[in-house]
Chain A
């Protein structure tokens, strides 16, 4: 990830709100389901418009008072999983 790539939702993905544990992203082209928590949902919401990794991390800083040390690594892993599953696309 270069930090310059922008990530955007695949418009075919359906989001199912579950319970307090989070929500599901469903890729109907593959049948794959991704369970996401509040943090994942936050990133998914950001990807409604094309957003870079830097912008995602900045948005966390703006939205939350304290940020875990390993946030950058976690976000990169999550974005990578979403990209591999076709839930978002990079451009």
Chain B
């Protein structure tokens, strides 16, 4: 039986990037928001506190930050914070719903080095039309597309992410055509509605089951053929299909992928090079692991926590847990190829990171779809 190299990824001396939820405020109420719980329970930092935090992040020699929320553009001081990022020798990205982007926003981006340091601004679009988009992101399609058009027309480095749920699987072809042909975006990415946070309260309505994953995954694979190099995914049905196919290939050929460490809880590697900060300054391994608080950026030493915090070390230590040693994986033919799934989703659904995820299990996927292999799918 092939055995994966179980050495964990190299731990950087400092995180390369930090995801900052700069606000818990949002002007929308998306049906799948995984951040809805912390938004309701935590308070935003002030401008001065955020500037202090950004200076600490810069002093730690972090190279990139991603500003998210909530909705980052609900903060009137957002460009003041961007300037602090620029002044502290970092680059940045913004994740937005697009609805608050105006001509004034575009003008603001053009001042100083704000545009030069902008890696990307990602707008969430979940449907090709208001009827589909608004099912997940109520009453926002026209405003989101208006913001997206402004960003595109002004040649900002804009990307679009579609979050796939039961609401929009049947619309994927129309969505790709709308974004890539009608609007002329160079590419689009996608993930899936995670059954956590608010997404958990309407799980049956939104979250994808194994049958939905196969359906969406095949549609997206076909779209990849139709739009070569223009549809990408780090998570969601398309990413899962790629992973499942690599598992099948590895089992068949004996050649293991080098994209992840097969056979242990190796998902994901983010905890070796990035951190999350919640809108009250709490430092977490990832914003999807928002209940594993390591400390607070205002009061604690970022690099000390990065190296020594038990919370993040526990996530990293998952690399040492072999799936074949986990009772519930006993007898599964895929244990030497699997990665156990996202620890963030697992933590929220099972209240532990020391277990495989339930929604990414390939054995369950095959069984639910009544197939023995993806070959031919």
Contacts and interface: CB of A to CB of B under 8 A. Distances in A.
The answer to whether A binds B is yes
Interface of A: 12-19, 26, 28-29, 31, 33
Interface in B20-50: none
Given A26-B89, A28-B90, A31-B91, A14 B113 contact: no
29 contacts: A12-B89, A13-B89, A14-B58, A14-B61, A14-B63, A14-B89, A14-B90, A15-B61, A16-B14, A16-B61, A16-B63, A17-B13, A17-B61, A18-B13, A19-B10, A19-B13, A26-B61, A26-B63, A26-B89, A28-B86, A28-B90, A28-B91, A28-B117, A29-B113, A29-B116, A29-B117, A31-B91, A31-B119, A33-B63
Contacts of B116: 29
Contact of A16 (B13, B91, B113): B13
Interface string B82-121: 0000100111000000000000000000000100110100
B12 interface: yes
Contacts, number: 33
Given A12-B89, A13-B89, A28 B63 contact: yes
Q: Give the interface SS of chain B, mostly helix, strand, loop or mixed.
A: loop
Nearest to A21: B10
Interface of B: 10, 12-14, 58, 61, 63, 86, 89-91, 113, 116-117, 119
For the complex of A and B, the 9 pairs showing the least CB-CB separation, nearest first, are A16-B61, A14-B89, A26-B63, A28-B89, A28-B91, A12-B89, A14-B61, A29-B116, A28-B90
A16 B62 CA distance: 8
Contacts of A29: 113, 116-117
B270 to A, nearest CB: 18
The listed residue with most B CB atoms (<10 A of its CB), out of A14, A18, A19, is: A14
Given A26-B89, A28-B90, A18 B113 contact: no
The listed residue with most B CB atoms (<10 A of its CB), out of A18, A28, A29, is: A28
B33 to A, nearest CB: 30
Nearest to A10: B89
Contacts of A12: 89
